[in-house]
Amino acid sequence: MDIKNIQKNAKQKSAEFTFTPPPEAPVFEPTAEEFLDPLSYIAKIRPVAEKTGICKIKPPSRWQPPFSLDVDKLKFVPRIQKVNELEAITRLKLLFLEKILKFWDLQGSPLKIPMIENKTLDLYCLKFWVDEEGGFENCNTPKKWRKIANSMGYSQNTSTMNFLRSNYEKILLPYEIFEKSKADILKTVKKTETKTESKVGEPGKLMFKEVSVESITKVKDESEVKEEKLSKSIKKTKTGSDITIEIDLTKSNLENEVLKRNRELRRLACYGPGPKMPGLNDEEFDITKSRKRPRYDLDPLAIYICAICQKDHRDDLLLICNGCQDTYHTFCLKPPLTAVPDGDWRCPCCIAAEVHKPAEAFGFAQAEREYTLQQFGEMADKFKSEYFSISGHLVPTNVAEKEFWRIISSVEEDVTVEYGADLHSMDHGSGFPTKSSLNLYPGDQEYVDSGWNLNNLPVLEGSVLRFINADISGMTVPWMYVGMCFSAFCWHNEDHWSYSINYLHWGEAKTWYGVPGSGAELLENAMKAAAPDLFKTQPDLLHQLVTIMNPNILMAAGVPIYRTDQQAGEFVITFPRAYHAGFNQGYNFAEAVNFAPPDWLPIGRECITHYKKLKRFCVFSHDELICKMALEGDRLDLDTALQTQKELMRATQEEGSFRGKLADKGIKNVRRTAFELLGDDERLCEICKTTCFLSSVSCSECKHMACLQHAEVMCECKWEKKTLYYRYDMDELHIMVQTIDFRVNSFDKWMTDAKTLLLPTAPDIGRLQKLKNLIDEADELKLPKCKLFHQLKEEYTKTTENTEPIVIELDDD
């Protein structure tokens, strides 16, 4: 589906709410034996599960880890979520509505949004569909307004069509005209400024031109001036005067004094050289304090000039801007005003500045109070039971799901919830029992050591994240989540496109939606097409975890989406690059962490390339991880060694190519450095923001640094000023490749021989000696003690036991 059709479909879906649940993601139930090895089991289900992006795993019924957190001691401050602001299109509608309300309010005409068919008129969609028909001028037939009404989900009778047309003309057309003529108005307007002159030879004195009293032709008598002066605050335009006011200022504070006194001097101007009139204090005279601005509020001693036509006639139709205090004729404005506003009024320049003020990046505020688990649970349960008017646990999951997406898509709904998200287990402890847990029972040790314990999974043998020395919170160290009804997690995929695993310790269900990694770009493109204005202001919006979109809108755009309800005691796995989102059905407690089996390595490198294009920061250096794994080859199993070999070979070839190009450019300064000892912020490429490890280029002239890919564009300084910093020279990298090659080949040969020897058809002659030789070879090569190695040892022990009785019998004979 093309961009325009995606936009149209999104607006139609948002006009009349419907929700069709996506198809279910697969559910797996491992046997007790399969459950013993988490990474092997996940690798086994991967061909099926990665096609849906997410899957659910139900552990064997006897696997029930105790909840190990002290519920009385855990305290946290949750995030505040305004539910409908999470949705991309609803947020666009709210932002547009804010602009329209501000546009009218600044002109002294506060707007009340009209109602149609018991709903607030959707001004955002009204404008969109009118634009689709070629604009208001082209919507000149009932047929077009009938089509617009139909697209917006309204009835298509004459009164509805007239209602839409009249409200567009009344509310949106003036805004539209203003937007189109804004640039011309800003060019036409001549902002008045106080002119200052400095006498030659007297830099500390300023000369201000003042209004000459004699030049005013119509002056009211003193009693009239006194009568009106307390209620009038105006912008003065000064004309020819011989009166000067001199102020001694020291050179050091000249600028500050000018800014400070400029306004005061302009006030003095209209009264000549004498002091301010008694009783006229600053507050009464300050235009920003005045609320009502009638059209006749003109000072008799000032000459008013329209900022557009530059003429001073028709004082009765001059308006004074409450913002900048410039004056405008009502008939010079575009569109012209037919009547003088009763309230405060702003000029086109001030309106443009205010209406188009850049929106702040959307994010979640922190709640003002701290909760214990019990306090949060009481609040969460009360909210859900009051919202649905029945006990919270009696609300079916499909009912809560439909209600969530209804709230999400409504501009009118104002539902606010709280979410205890991203609670660090390093700070609060883990829900799983660990070696440091207090009051462990004898049966708890099984769960302390279990591979499914999320504190263990990232660092299991076979997980590449165990080679990262640092504890990366949320990635290698679990985060915890305390949810309530409608609290949500928005569309995102994991850092470095790694796997993730989530365990729901207890509480009500968590509803998930997932997109397979193969559909990641489809989702990104669909969301950008449906809400382009959001991504213009925040291109990295999907990395901020603050935006959700109705799965039905995405599915209509061709994005494959699957759902699942995670119950207490169940795992949900997300696969590499799989986007996922969801919400909590009620009060619950979950824990999550990332992990990365060897099949992730090529995906991880692809992710780094993607991050470079987006100029997104890395969590860790992929090259550093690969080199560390290659240097610790004796800790690698065959699958990990094979993937490491491929990755290191690719990195070495790429590095050699870049270094060769730089040598051709004439770079001469070369120096070794230990990048791993530098902080990440000290080894960032200034162009793509990647974390350098194998090499970088720095310039001594401008102090810039870049990866080799961007060395040529980082600055225009001469190459003599640049230095190539490297971690390993090319010979060392080639030796590392050869070492891992040898290890892979040795491991591969050993595994082939071992599998052959364990076959039932293997000959018995010399079998015992061959078993012993393979076990010794494994020790000599420092091969990991994999499943095959343990099978060999068992077979050797069994064969030895069978051989001994035979030897004893021969000795007796």
Q: CA triplet 668, 674, 680: central angle to 5 degrees?
A: 105
User: Alpha helix locations (H) across 106-252?
Assistant: 123-132, 142-151, 158-167, 173-188, 222-229
- What local confidence, expressed as pLDDT, does residue 440 receive? 82
Give which of 355, 293, 365, 359 is closest to 330, Cα–Cα: 293
Q: Which residues of 444-454 are buried (b: 16+ CB within 10 A; e: fewer)?
A: beebbebbbbb
- What local confidence, expressed as pLDDT, does residue 233 receive? 33
How far, in Å, CA of 267 to CA of 282, rounded?
A: 10
| CATH class of the domain at 315-355 | alpha beta
Residue whose pair of structure tokens reads 């003599």 in the numeric block = 720
CA atoms within 13 A of residue 177's CA, in its CB half-sphere: 13
- What local confidence, expressed as pLDDT, does residue 637 receive? 82
Q: Is 1 helix (H, G, I), strand (E, B) or coil?
A: coil
If one counts every other C-beta atom within 10 angstroms of the C-beta of residue 624, the result is: 21
How far, in Å, CA of 374 to CA of 587, rounded?
A: 10
The span from the first CA to the last CA of the chain, in angstroms, equals: 87
CA distances to 127, 198, 204 from 201, rounded to whole Å, are 61, 9, 9
Angle between helices 730-757 and 767-780 (to 10 degrees): 160
β-sheet bridge partners, residue 61: none
Give which of 651, 640, 515, 510 is closest to 572, Cα–Cα: 510
What is the DSSP-derived secondary structure letter of residue 683? S
CATH of 93-184 among 3.90.79.10, 1.10.150.60, 3.20.20.120, 1.10.3720.10:
1.10.150.60
CA distances to 208, 229, 238, 320 from 267, rounded to whole Å, are 12, 12, 11, 16
Structure tokens at 301: 């001693």
Non-local (6+) Cβ contacts of 640 within 8 A are 462, 464, 598, 629
Give which of 400, 392, 390, 411 is closest to 83, Cα–Cα: 411
Non-local (6+) Cβ contacts of 638 within 8 A are 744, 747, 748, 751, 786
- The phi and psi torsions of 118 (rounded to 5 degrees) equal 65, 20
pLDDT digits (tens, 9 = 90+) for 636-673: 888 898 999 999 999 999 999 999 999 998 888 999 99
Determine if the pTM surpasses 0.75.
Answer: yes
Please name the CATH architecture into which domain 18-78+366-444+478-593 falls.
Sandwich (2.60)
Element (H, E) at 207: strand 206-208
CA atoms within 13 A of residue 45's CA, in its CB half-sphere: 25
β-sheet bridge partners, residue 510: 566, 584
If one counts every other C-beta atom within 10 angstroms of the C-beta of residue 339, the result is: 8
Q: Are strands 119-120 and 115-116 parallel, antiparallel or unpaired?
A: antiparallel
Amino acid at 304: Y
* Residue ranges covered by each domain of the chain: 18-78+366-444+478-593, 93-184, 315-355, 611-734, 759-802
Non-local (6+) Cβ contacts of 344 within 8 A are 106, 108, 291, 292, 293, 322
How far, in Å, CA of 556 to CA of 136, rounded?
A: 29
- The phi and psi torsions of 722 (rounded to 5 degrees) equal -105, 150
8 A C-beta contact, residue 597 and residue 464: yes
CA distances to 196, 237, 285, 316, 597 from 326, rounded to whole Å, are 19, 9, 16, 15, 67
- What local confidence, expressed as pLDDT, does residue 15 receive? 67
Torsion sign, CA atoms 350, 343, 310, 246: negative
8 A C-beta contact, residue 444 and residue 503: no
- What local confidence, expressed as pLDDT, does residue 242 receive? 35
How far, in Å, CA of 7 to CA of 1, rounded?
A: 10
Q: Are strands 562-566 and 416-424 parallel, antiparallel or unpaired?
A: unpaired
User: Alpha helix locations (H) across 546-618?
Assistant: 551-556, 601-614
Give which of 621, 595, 440 is closest to 68, Cα–Cα: 440
- What local confidence, expressed as pLDDT, does residue 102 receive? 86
Non-local (6+) Cβ contacts of 550 within 8 A are 13, 14, 19, 87, 405, 408, 409
- What local confidence, expressed as pLDDT, does residue 49 receive? 96
How far, in Å, CA of 259 to CA of 253, rounded?
A: 10
Q: Report, as ranges of residue numbers, the positions in the chain whose pLDDT lies below 50.
A: 192-297, 301
β-sheet bridge partners, residue 196: 208
pLDDT digits (tens, 9 = 90+) for 191-205: 544 333 343 444 433
CA distances to 276, 772, 783, 792 from 777, rounded to whole Å, are 102, 9, 8, 12
User: Alpha helix locations (H) across 438-590?
Assistant: 445-449, 520-530, 532-537, 551-556
CA atoms within 13 A of residue 542's CA, in its CB half-sphere: 24
How far, in Å, CA of 486 to CA of 401, rounded?
A: 9
How far, in Å, CA of 96 to CA of 686, rounded?
A: 36
How far, in Å, CA of 191 to CA of 347, rounded?
A: 11
Give which of 507, 453, 599, 537 is closest to 46, Cα–Cα: 599
Element (H, E) at 372: strand 371-372
How far, in Å, CA of 711 to CA of 702, rounded?
A: 13
Q: Which residues of 776-788 are buried (b: 16+ CB within 10 A; e: fewer)?
A: eebeebebbebeb
8 A C-beta contact, residue 705 and residue 757: no
How far, in Å, CA of 37 to CA of 35, rounded?
A: 6
CA distances to 222, 303, 348 from 219, rounded to whole Å, are 9, 12, 31
If one counts every other C-beta atom within 10 angstroms of the C-beta of residue 426, the result is: 11
8 A C-beta contact, residue 276 and residue 267: yes
How far, in Å, CA of 707 to CA of 136, rounded?
A: 52
